[in-house]
Amino acid sequence: MLIILTFESNADRQKFEYLFNQYKRLLLYKAYGILRDCALAEDAVSEAYIRIYRNLNKITDVQSPQAVSFLITIVKNTSLTLLDKRKNTDAYDSFDHESDGFDLEKSILSEVITNDMLKLVDRLNEDIRAPFLLKYAHDLSHREIAALLHITENNVTVRIHRAKKKLAVLFKEAGYGHGK
């Protein structure tokens, strides 16, 4: 299928062209780091920019660090998809409804977000970190995340739940909530 890029306004066109010209080489570098193949890296980044084009309205400030984070999240997803290391979606089709029993906010409400806490987010697998960030950092709905990552909405819900549950465990292990 031939995909063509049309823009509703010059502002959208300029926004896309800025994101493309400014970050294409970095995204290629990152995709190559995952795929170890130049042609596949180009395919991954090309697909990523198509998805970025379809979600241009989610990027308000193209010069913000959040915009770069958004781009890299998408490129990692397209690269890993090409690498065929996605986990079987059946594994994410259901989850237990038990409470994690750990109320994060009560425990660290008075604490600022520290670099150590951000490192805990780093420890999440990309499969579950991506939808978590897309929802909470970039305010995408579950439907929008599903369309962006090419997974089902149910899958999105499950992965976000897994991310939050894993974070709760990591925070507990790191001693947060015990007066650290």
Partner 1 sequence: MAMENNLKNQPQPDPNEGFFKALARAYAAAEGNALREEQADLESSHRLPPGTGLDKKIKRKQAAGRFRSYALRTLPLAASLIIAVWVYNGYVATKTPYSSGPSAGASSADSSSAAADSAPDTETELLRSGVAFVSVSLPAGYQVTGIDYDNRQAVLDIENIENNRIVLTLTAGGVLENEGYTAVSLNGGTAYGMVRNDYSVLTYHKDGMLYTLTSPYGCEDLIEISKNIL
Residue 82 contacts partner 1 per CB under 8 A: no
How many angstroms separate the CA atoms of 127 and 145, rounded? 12
Residue 105 contacts partner 1 per CB under 8 A: yes
Residue 4 contacts partner 1 per CB under 8 A: yes
Q: Are 153 and 102 in contact (CB under 8 A)?
A: no
Residue 147 contacts partner 1 per CB under 8 A: no
Rounded to the nearest 10°, the torsion over CA 67, 70, 76, 78 is: -110
Residue 148 contacts partner 1 per CB under 8 A: no
Burial tier of 48 (Cβ tally within 10 Å: 0-12, 13-18, 19+): buried
Minimum distance from residue 85 beta carbon to partner 1 (Å)? 21
Candidates 83-91, 116-124, 141-149, 151-159; binding stretch for partner 1 (CB under 8 A)? 116-124
Residue 174 contacts partner 1 per CB under 8 A: no
How many angstroms separate the CA atoms of 149 and 77, rounded? 7
Q: Are 15 and 62 in contact (CB under 8 A)?
A: yes
- Copy the structure tokens of residue 112: 């600022």
Binds partner 1 by CB under 8 A, chosen from 60, 69, 89, 141: 69
Give contact residues for partner 1 (rule: CB under 8 A): 2-7, 20, 23-26, 28-29, 32, 38-39, 41-42, 45-46, 49-50, 64-70, 72, 103-106, 108-109, 113, 115, 117-118, 121, 132-133, 135-138, 164, 167-168
